[in-house]
Structure 1
Amino acid sequence: MNTQNDLSGKLALDVQGMGALRQSAKAGSPEALKSAATQFEAMFVNMMMKSMRDATPQDGMLDSQQSKMFTTMLDQQTSQSIAKKGIGLADVLIRQLSQQAANTQALAIGNEGAATDGATPAAPAASSRFDPALLQRAIAAAGGAGAAGASTSGTSATDAASDAAKGSTAPHVRNFQAKLGAHAEEASRATGIPAKFMLGQAALESGWGKREIKGRDGSNSHNLFGIKAGPDWKGKVAEAVTTEYVNGKAQTRVERFRAYDSYGDSFKDYAKLLASNPRYEKVLASAGDASSFAHGLQRAGYATDPHYARKLTNIIKHSLVG
């Protein structure tokens, strides 16, 4: 039996069914997301069938405008049936759109702060729901393309699907990766650590660049990884308030951190630290898996936050693209 939002067994032009789907989208439900993705898949299949029909001669004795109309309706319903079984496109769309919720959660986790960054701000509440506005855009495109009938090529639906996939990644994540991606790639070639892992750690330590360590004069230290300035450090230094965990209890301290002339220098020094310090040898050996990498860093004492590995793993797996 069809549920209220299941359009797979209904005619593609069913206005009532599409209206129910729009209503569900207002609540941002996962069921509405699945239904909308299935509609996109149906339109894609219908577009292929239309192209095949256009390539077939249709001037026989039994061909007429009426037969073409009913053939079009049959193709649309056939597309719905094929999409119900699935050819994979709906699954891809669901994964892309589902990152919206994961990004929100990762942002909240990142905003909790790492053990070596500045004072920890209050984290926003994480949301497990999908963005209703994004669903409304997807469903509107699905409804518009379905109502257009045989004259619709499906191009607008394809473009809408592409826009929805791009929109699933939060703007601050895209900007962060675009800004620092090249530096991460260079450090990756030097250490063998995936660039995505390093970007995830930089995001966690700096709060996606919003809580970078500043000097007393307000100058940027470009220290994205919260690396402290020990006795052997001969470069510039920036002092900042940080949260350390002693016996599981958070304590606020003022620490000295390394300062660099650029973000590129920060990535280079981070790569040098991991490659030259024996305690990170096992971390480099486990760089093929995000969870192993994150837990290896925590075991090696990179940070005192007892939840550091979990936070880093979530950001790498659920927030970053690539």
Structure 2
Amino acid sequence: MDSLPTRNQLDMARNANDLSGLNSLREAIANGQDKEALQETAQQFESIFVQMMLKSMRKAQDALADENSPFNSQQVKFYRDMHDQQLAVDLTSNGGMGLADIIVKQLGQNNPDYTPASAIRSDGNLASLNLQVKQQVAQAEQAVMAPPETSHSTAFKAPIVANKEAFVEALYPHAKQAAEKIGADPKAIIAQAAVETGWGQYVIHDNQGAPSYNLFGIKANSQWQGKQAVVDTVEFSQGVAARQKASFRAYDSIADSMNDYVDFIKSGARYEQAVQNSHDAKTYYQSLQQAGYATDPAYADKLMSVYQGSTLAGFNP
């Protein structure tokens, strides 16, 4: 049974306005009451936490209080704060919020079934944690951006040329004719087709294996009366990539694709600014992006990068 002097020392420590409370706890530890002193110290720590919450609540109340009210004087606040301090001590000494019990378990080590979090955490190293997050993000992006598995039961994407050089050679004659209609550089049009199809490596094919020759990612809306193919595509919503199915226009040849692209740009009122600036590739691309041609926030930059790249720069018709 606890001795009366030790119990009195612990009782004194529960008085929030007794400045000798800390010294009483020290004396209790010196008398061999380590466990009880630890419990009392944990409760005092919890009471400090509760006091901070009460103080924050009081500050919020003071912000809306009437400055001329007699209940808002400095004297009232002084005694109110003393009351809150003692209230916090009383609340934590009668069960409290459970924070004191956790502290006792953490520091006391008297429960064989309880292991401190510091002993079992494997992510305490921030560098390791950040690396893990980056790996998870990379895996998610790879799952979204990776080309879908080809299946001949539905539309799929497959190459129509062997390499970049063959792609440019196949498109240039048709791109030249299309560019003349809107006053653009043929290479600027080829660059857009290269971005949309991965230099002709990811062109939509129907379930029979026939290429759609959709070189510009133009979708089949309700006004489109021609052939179409449904295939997986990547769209951006608020900067986040997501895979979804969409219907795209299908053509019989590269020439048909180029002609429809020009008609699509010239007939769309929202692309009027782009047509007016078609002579300048950078402005043309930026106008297309601003008009909503693609959801990719870096669409114009990607087009310009391909347009200024070595493949197109080294091509001589």
Tell me the TM-score normalized by structure 2: 0.47
Higher relative contact order (CA 8 A, sep 6+): 1
Higher alpha-carbon Rg: 2
